[in-house]
Structure 1
Amino acid sequence: MTAQFDGKTALVTGGGSGIGKAVAVALGAEGANVVVNDLKLEVAQSVVDEITAAGGTAVAVAGDVGNPDDVKASVDAAVETYGALHLAFNNAGIGGPQGLAEDIDIAGYLKLMDVNLHSVFYGMHYQLPQIVAAGGGAIVNTSSILGVVGDANALPYVAAKHGVAGMTKSAALSYAEKGVRVNSVHPGYIDTPLLQGLPKEAYDGLIAKHPIGRLGTSEEVANLVLFLLSDQASFITGSQHLVDGGYTAQ
């Protein structure tokens, strides 16, 4: 490990599992003070315990990213606990309703937008002034392969993830001169316990969508996120970064 984030404070939303957990653990191993946000405190705390057991520094914060007051509270907790905020990974998301537009439940659509799109705005709304005040830093927002291409069965999710990509570019342009870089990552299907619970035919069908012949891992996405948050990516902002095994190249 390089301790490349030594002295930096990073906020990770959806940090209790999957990609968020992988990023939080990796940041802790690289010296960052990590604020792990998740909907359930005990889930976030379990990741904090893993980080601190490995010699890192972290704190757990519970909150609903679809609620701007909770988002503000997580940013306030970072600043109050560690004195500043330098990095953020806006990652929390849900699957939401699928089907034809005429059949999609409106309440479900609105919930998905709150968690997958509006939360990213809330995050940057409160994070960016603090990162500027800290002297600059970086934000990475989780979009998806479906923030680049469409899916006939996932209209709300596609809309939200395309929105994240556009929001990222606008924020990057607004804050480039202020010393903050903002980029989006676009993962393909990632091998998680949830997907492993699918019937074999469905699971194999997802694999078949990726020319590389397998699903991705949370750690592979985390490697990309850490690079984008690091000074190694100092000339990269406002861009979309795929980690999808060739899914969108087809």
Structure 2
Amino acid sequence: MFLNYEETIKYLKNVTRQNSNGFTLMHFLSNGYLNAYLNYEGELCSKMYDIPSTGIDDFTIYSTELYAGYLILNNKEHLKVLNQVLIDDKAANIVNFYKPLDCKIYSPLVAGTHVNYGGISMKDLEAYVNMIEACGETVQKDITGMRSEKLDLKTIIRNLRVNKKDLLFKIEEINSIPLSHHALNRKGEFYSSELGLALELWEEIYLKRKGVFEEEQNLEKAINELLKNYEITSTKLRSIKGETDETGRLKARLKVLLNLSGKNKIRKID
């Protein structure tokens, strides 16, 4: 099941009990928890890029096909575009896509029927083209097996102009996000220093210490003490101790992330 942008924001808010917006979606997209999808119906070509080449336009058309289904946006180039769509709220042109569970690169083709004769004889091909034209369809030249430099790409491959309202998100993927530890990506690495550190200190303060502090010590003082003496274990912050510019910035965020309220328990230490 798929949700549009507005439905996804509402769903995330209900699931996480926190306000969600385009930034929330970009966090989950950029760290592999979610993919963005488009519903597409039309003609596609699959493109084989030359491995030694670094040029994005250096490819060969592998095949063409009529397709009705979902296209997926989930690589680094797509993330740049999604940032423009979700954060800047602008439309963006995209030319390369993937199908779910398919590693080939696809591009939308202009309207018309691209003949893919796959080895049939020229006589049969001409008969097929004549039949299509007799039905009033526009027949494009056969491009299967042709390299990009031999094609007029502007007349064959078209961009899809994508707006925020066009994006779809899979509810099954949303439900699989480990919301209690969403500062971690799927590799178990912190993608946000502040959130990662907050989780570590939250576990130390509330799970190990049960939120109980020494006399005249509150949460803020406990954070200061831990940052001076506690060996932080996350990959990005492992070597950080004491009072540095970095920990100063983190402490300011921790006061919000750890919900500093002044309602902490105090226990007198004998």
With normalisation by structure 2, the TM-score equals: 0.19
More strand by share: 2
Q: Which has the larger radius of gyration?
A: 2
With normalisation by structure 1, the TM-score equals: 0.20
Greater RCO (Cα-Cα under 8 Å, separation 6 or more): 2
